[in-house]
């Protein structure tokens, strides 16, 4: 089975620089029912700043991606570093049916980071 592309607008902390991942589960979630700790873990990324700390390391600003306030699909992946992660995407019946089948078939995805200016939304899966 050919790899598909999983696009992210930023290099999220949850990805741990993994380059490929296998889709293992799809669930429907309402945004208002998500636990804050799960949202924080899923939506955090860092932006490098121009400043350096005492050890000479570049400092970073911690940013949280804003999830849509709607029904979402929670996709669970196992990355090529054996590190699991989730990502949330907008729900549609057609997308849910397609992704559910891909999870059953353990579809492999190439992880692609397309840095978007702040405020822009993630591109669709």
Number of domains in the chain: 1
Q: Is residue 107 part of a domain?
A: yes
Q: What is the pLDDT of residue 124?
A: 44
- The whole-number average pLDDT for the span 90-113 is 96
The C-alpha angle 6, 83, 28, rounded to 5 degrees, equals 55
Say if 118 falls within a structural domain: no
For the ranges 19-23, 25-29, 57-61, the lowest mean pLDDT is seen at 57-61
Indicate whether 120 belongs to any domain. no
DSSP state, residue 71: E
In a domain, 125, yes or no: no
Per-residue confidence at 118, pLDDT binned at 50, 70, 90?
Answer: low
**Span 34-52, pLDDT tens digits:** 999 988 888 888 877 777 7
93: domain range? 4-113
* Structural domain includes residue 89: yes
Residues 6+ apart with CB under 8 A from 105: 1
Give the model's pLDDT for residue 4: 96
Domain contains 122: no
């Amino acid at each position: 089975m050919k790899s598909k592309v999983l696009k992210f607008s930023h290099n999220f902390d949850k990805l741990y620089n993994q380059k490929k991942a296998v889709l293992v589960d799809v669930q429907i979630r309402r945004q208002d029912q998500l636990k804050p700790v799960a949202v924080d873990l899923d939506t955090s990324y860092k932006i490098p700043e121009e400043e350096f700390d005492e050890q000479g390391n570049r400092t970073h600003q911690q940013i949280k991606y804003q999830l849509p306030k709607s029904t979402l699909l929670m996709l669970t992946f196992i990355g090529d570093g054996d590190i699991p992660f989730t990502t949330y995407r907008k729900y549609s019946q057609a997308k849910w049916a397609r992704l559910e089948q891909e999870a059953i078939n353990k579809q492999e995805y190439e992880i692609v980071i397309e840095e978007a200016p702040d405020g822009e939304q993630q591109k669709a899966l």
